[in-house]
Structure 1
Amino acid sequence: MIRALSLGLALLPALALAHAGHDHATPMESAFVQETLLLPDIPVTDTQGRSAGFVSRYGDAGPVLISFIYTECEDNCSMVKAVMKLVDDDLQAAGAPPLRLIALSVDPWRDTPQSLAAAAAEIEASDNWDWLVASRADTPVLLSAFGLKPGPVEAHEAVYLLGDFRTGRFWRIPGVPEPQALIDHARQIAP
């Protein structure tokens, strides 16, 4: 997994160089698709084994950035984790917006709080980055509420949701966004 994350981190500078000399705001802004989500308060369990309703847990959190992963993924999850790690690192700086990071497992059959904790520790995720899993029965319902197909875990898309549970407004960001663009947009929606 370290090798896959290293590859993901190594590809990010190449992605940035590919856009050198271009207006970064234009492609990123067009990738943001705003929508209103009505999410069920399905129980999710964190790496400490604490369970709480997803909406209840983050209702007062302010801006959140949600990604979808599974611990045995070696394909697009590596890039998703790399983007989230860069955002996580940037949020440690003074003046960073109050953005909460969430990694939600799409594989409740194999992911446990312990395996999520190990994955978070492996990439040195900060305490501001929650790793969560819902039950096997609830995961498809939760993914559907996010507008994701609950099909085979190997077929899940690289997508991020940036928004606020208080308003229900979220921006869907597919693919590989620039971490700084995510932080800049979070700054715009922070209270």
Structure 2
Amino acid sequence: MSARVQWLVLVTLGTLLGLGTGACTRDEAPAAPPPPPESQDAPLGRLSLPEDLVLVDQRGEPVHVQRDLMQGGVVVMNFIFTRCTTICPPMGMGFSRLQEQLGARAGRDVKLVSVSLDPEHDTPERLAEWGKRYGAGPGWTLLSGSKQDVDRLLKAMTVYTPAKEQHAPIVLVGNTATGEWVRAHGLGSPKRLLEAVERALASAPPKSPVFTDVTSPARRYFSDTELVDQDGRKVRFYSDLIQGKTVIINVFFSRCTGSCPVMAGTFTRLQAHLGDRLGKDVRMLSISVDPERDTPERLKEYAQRFKARPGWSFLTGDKEHVQAVLQKLGQAVEDPNQHKALFLIGNDRTGLWKKAFGLAKADEVIPVVDSVMNDQGVSLAENTP
């Protein structure tokens, strides 16, 4: 059965079960406003989010909601929980269809966000499995966190309801450049939802570097070559890993018994030093120079060996793609054993890049990392990699 047919069947079942008004049960009316009729969107005006709100995505990485998701561009947000068997599956299918229709704009101009209404049960692993069911790509973020923090988000977005079973099938579409949001029907047709997104895009083209800063020297230099991380997830090298972050990059291969374990040990010290900044505004990237042998499974084992936390990505992929990235980094080699023991440290926000010797003691590398990470004002144009 095609995704399109599945979606139609699920919507029909929802209607037959009396879910057209949006509730998962009919015991009492939901606290959140009901969704508007499918034929129209309900303007919400400007919504104010807590500046300090940090949740967790399906990879276990912290997400600063305001900084990481709301800095320009269009955000499409729905509200689900993984144990929901009524309106959540058709909403998942609706997002899947929207993602397909958006194509390359998903994650670039438009971010899809699904927020769990059951954060105490919906761990990152369960959200990842739910997202996989509907083909969630890099531009689709699934969020959980503490119940208190999730409730803060739900209240700010005007969709809070005390009982998750009573939530309404609501999708919020916002142009964060203008701050204007509308409420759409979560069980409406994918075409209607796409039209709401197109209207939001047309109202004010995204300008934030988080989405479409094509003038960034780093974006032009690195491009969005596709790699694969240790979880088997396809990632775009610039947009998903570097953009707006400080990055610490090294190259290695899993069979290496010389410099690689030493550099990985330094990275282990660095992640302890970085604390909760790792995965928020700092990422560590270890790129394999032996992508034909270093499968995601092998990289996962290697990551576990060094107790890698979310925010430390191990990267492989098609040999041609990996070589293209390594070439840009000045790290391309024919023989993996000839790779350089070097750390590249860059701040995409200011354009400052530095190098550090990969076999230096961690205490010697940390000050270099700190100087780049805490840089405040170097012009992007002066420090193109």
- TM class by shorter chain equals 0.7 to 0.9
| Alignment-derived partner of residue 176 in structure 2 | 165
How far the C-alpha of 1:155 sits from its partner, in A, is 1.1
Quick one: distance in 1 between partners of 2:151 and 2:103? 33
1:145, CA displacement in angstroms? 0.8
- Name the aligned partner's letter for residue 32 of structure 1: A
Q: More relative contact order in 1 or in 2 (CA 8 Å, sep 6+)?
A: 1
Shift of 1:156: 1.0
The answer for the alignment partner of 1:21 in structure 2 is none
Tell which structure's C-alpha radius of gyration is larger: 2
Describe the SS at the equivalent of 1:188: helix
Partner of 1:84: 95
> Which runs of structure 2 are paired with 1:15-164 in the superposition (5 Å)?
28=38, 30-41=40-51, 42-92=53-103, 98-164=109-175
Q: 1:134 to 1:6 in 2, by over 3 A?
A: farther
CA offset at residue 134 of structure 1?
2.6
How many aligned positions are there? 174
Report the aligned-residue RMSD: 2.6
Alpha-carbon distance, 1:187 to partner: 2.1
Alpha-carbon deviation of 1:28? 4.6
Letter aligned with residue 10 of structure 1 = V
2:194 is matched with 183
Question: More deviation in 149-158 or 179-188?
Answer: 179-188
Structure 1 residue 93 displacement after superposition: 6.6
TM-score (norm 2): 0.42
Deviations, residues 68-124 of structure 1 (Å, cap 9, x unaligned): 001111011112112111111111278xx9221110111111001111001111221
In structure 2, what is the equivalent of residue 23 of structure 1? Answer: none
Q: Distance in 1 between matches of 2:65 and 2:120?
A: 19
- Residues 119 and 184 of structure 1: CA distance in aligned 2, closer, same or farther (over 3 Å): same
- What is the CA-CA distance between 1:184 and the residue it aligns to? 2.4
- How far 1:181 sits from its partner (Å)? 2.2
Taking only the aligned residue pairs, the percentage that are identical comes to 26
Judge conservation of contact 1:9–1:82 (CA < 8 Å) in 2: no
Q: 1:12 to 1:74 in 2, by over 3 A?
A: closer
Q: Normalized against structure 1, the TM-score is what? A: 0.80
Q: Which runs of 5+ in 1 are unaligned?
A: 15-26
**Contact kept? 2:58, 2:124, Cα under 8 Å:** yes
Contact 2:38 2:185 in 1 (8 A): no
| CA shift in 2, pair 1:111/1:155, >3 Å | same
Q: Within 1, Cα distance between the matches of 2:39 and 2:138?
A: 29
Cα distance 1:57–1:155, how it changes in 2: closer, same or farther (>3 A)? Answer: same
Contact 2:10 2:89 in 1 (8 A): no
Amino acid at match of 2:9: A
**Equivalent residues of 1:67, 1:161 under 8 A apart:** yes
C-alpha distance in structure 1 between counterparts of 2:92 and 2:75, whole Å = 16
Change (3 A) 1:139 1:150: farther
